[in-house]
Amino acid sequence: MKKFRDFFLWSMNMKLYMGIYFSAVIFLAGFMYFVQGKYEMTFMTIFTGIMASLVVALLQVTMLDDRCDYSKGILFTKSLSWLAICTIIFGGTAYAFKWFEGLPDINYPIFIITMAIGLFFMLLGEKYEQEASTEKLNSALKNYKRK
């Protein structure tokens, strides 16, 4: 039963991250389209966006699992590797599938930099979540010792 629970939690986290990344990709690309007067997005852009988000989410739950220690900061070898790989995935997918075809080429670097910043903030969120969990556990332990 424990294995099932662990797998279930792992898959729920993966789907949560995938949803966050897909929302960010579609919102950012859609905003860039809208600002430049283009009001439609191709199916291929949406489909490849969701596939890139799936891969990035899978990488996050496998590379940056619960064993990662963010107490000394968020930029360590595994997190930097994850950040670089995921930025390359999003940027490479955008370039390969011509997400901003018909728009100025400056959209690609803007998109890549913005996604890298978003990924960095996801790491920061992981650190804050781990700190909050530690504080909650320490508080529960103190309450237990008092009894």
Give per-residue pLDDT as tens, 120-143: 999 999 889 888 888 888 888 888
Listed residue (63, 58, 113, 119) closest to 91, CA to CA = 113
99 touches 29 (CB < 8 A): yes
Query: Quick count: other Cβ atoms within 10 Å of Cβ 65?
Result: 11
Q: What is the pLDDT of residue 147?
A: 74
- Residue, of 94 and 145, whose pLDDT is higher: 94
**Within 10 Å of residue 120's Cβ, how many Cβ atoms?**
15
Most confident of 66-70, 72-76, 96-100: 96-100
Count Cα atoms within 13 angstroms, Cβ side, for 32. Answer: 23
> What's the pLDDT band for 38 if we cut at 50, 70, 90?
very high
Confidence (pLDDT) at 142:
86
What residue spans define the domains of the chain?
A: 2-146
pTM confidence score: 0.88
pLDDT, mean of residues 13-33: 95
Return the pLDDT at 122. Answer: 93
